[in-house]
Amino acid sequence: MRLVFGLILLYMLSGVQSQQREAYINFEKTEVHLGRIMESDGIVFDSFAFNNTGSVPLVIKNIITSCGCTNPYYSKEPILPGHSGYVKAAYNPKDRPGAFDVKITVNSSASNYLVVLSLKGEVIPRARTTADLFPIYIEGLRLKTNSMNFQLLSTAKAEKVIEVHNPYNKDLAIEFDRVPEHIKVQAIPNILKFGKTGIIKVQYDAKHKNDFGTLADRLYLVINGVKHKKNYLSITVDITEDFGILDSLKKQQAPRIKIDNQRINFGTIREREIFRFSVHIKNEGLRNLIIRKAVPSCGCTIVKTEGFVVPPGGEEKMDIVFDSTGRHGQQSKTITVISNDPAQPKTVIYLTGVIME
């Protein structure tokens, strides 16, 4: 009995000793408040000191910050028991006005292996210049942006504006070149005086465009008669078919798309090899299924969809060609099939595989 008791006691003591042989990271403080800092003063540094109060060396494995505005620096060498180390944070206040609270997660070999630190403060913004407010520059004209994005139903129109400014020492005449018929664009005023601000108003007519999916256009600016292929506004739009015009009976009788294989893996092929395959599209609805278009995510993929109509209960084959020329390694492409199925107007086919050199 004494022997059994002695063995149990020895086991317990050895367990306690093994538990005690650990590193422990003990920060003097886990929160630093930088107070009010000026954006114009640039990057601000502060440190979190810690001690290893454990019995074995301590190693910091990595540090993750909750914001790309903060870069961490820390003791790289093992910290011996009873010794100290640091975690330093470099906070960049550029374009970050107002209060901030950045979390800094320290991952170490200590028994308390995850410790979250907090870096707080408030950024007082610097005075904004004309270049800050209007960062795009085109032939003397400054713009807040050179792009617009629309989300439209196929029967809708929409307008958006871009603010512009003339910091130049002469008047700027604003005109446009190669404007597509489904877009109306106007500069107000069309002659912008020195030091004045105006707008460029763009109206997009989705019904007149008569297309679906994600589309792009360019509006070329002509400033004081100067044309250049790089001087343009980018207009993108996502047009969805307007099924709101259907009554309840037509919705019940609507086409229903079904694709037999939406995930295709071509395995491993060599570069320049052509992969050909087909999918079968069924119509499980009561009206004709119209495939508006099939949009590949890459120019390497060709899809044949001309005149693609599937009658109720019918099935049609869609041929797809993938060209591996100039591509290497793991591939992941998509083909978005846009149809007149109100329940599923977009159906995605996924194409994956590996290309060897």
pLDDT at 14: 46
pLDDT at 2: 52
Answer whether residue 83 shows pLDDT above 60.
yes
Average pLDDT along the chain: 92
Residues 241 and 188: their CA atoms lie apart, in Å, by 32
Answer whether residue 37 shows pLDDT above 70.
yes
pLDDT at 20: 61
> What are the chain's domains?
23-124 (2.60.40.10), 131-240 (2.60.40.10), 253-356 (2.60.40.10)
Nearest to 54 by CA among 16, 22, 17, 18: 22
pLDDT at 9: 42
Which CA distances in Å does 338 have to 20, 305, 343?
64, 11, 12
Global pTM reads 0.71
Q: pLDDT digits over 125-169, tens only?
A: 999 899 999 999 999 999 999 999 999 999 999 999 999 999 988
Answer whether residue 253 shows pLDDT above 90.
yes
| More confident call, 7 vs 352 | 352
Answer whether residue 1 shows pLDDT above 90.
no
Question: Percentage of the chain surpassing pLDDT 90?
Answer: 90
Residues 208 and 157: their CA atoms lie apart, in Å, by 9
pLDDT at 169: 87
Torsion on CA atoms 222, 225, 226, 230, rounded to nearest 10:
10
pLDDT at 4: 40
Tell how strand 309-310 and strand 301-303 pair up. Answer: unpaired
Q: pLDDT digits over 197-234, tens only?
A: 999 999 999 999 999 999 999 999 999 999 888 999 99
Q: pLDDT digits over 6-25, tens only?
A: 444 444 444 444 456 899 99
pLDDT at 305: 75
| More confident call, 200 vs 2 | 200
State how far Cα 242 lies from the chain centre. 27
State how far Cα 221 lies from the chain centre. 28
Answer whether residue 238 shows pLDDT above 90.
yes
Peptide bond into 93 cis (omega under 30): no
pLDDT at 7: 40
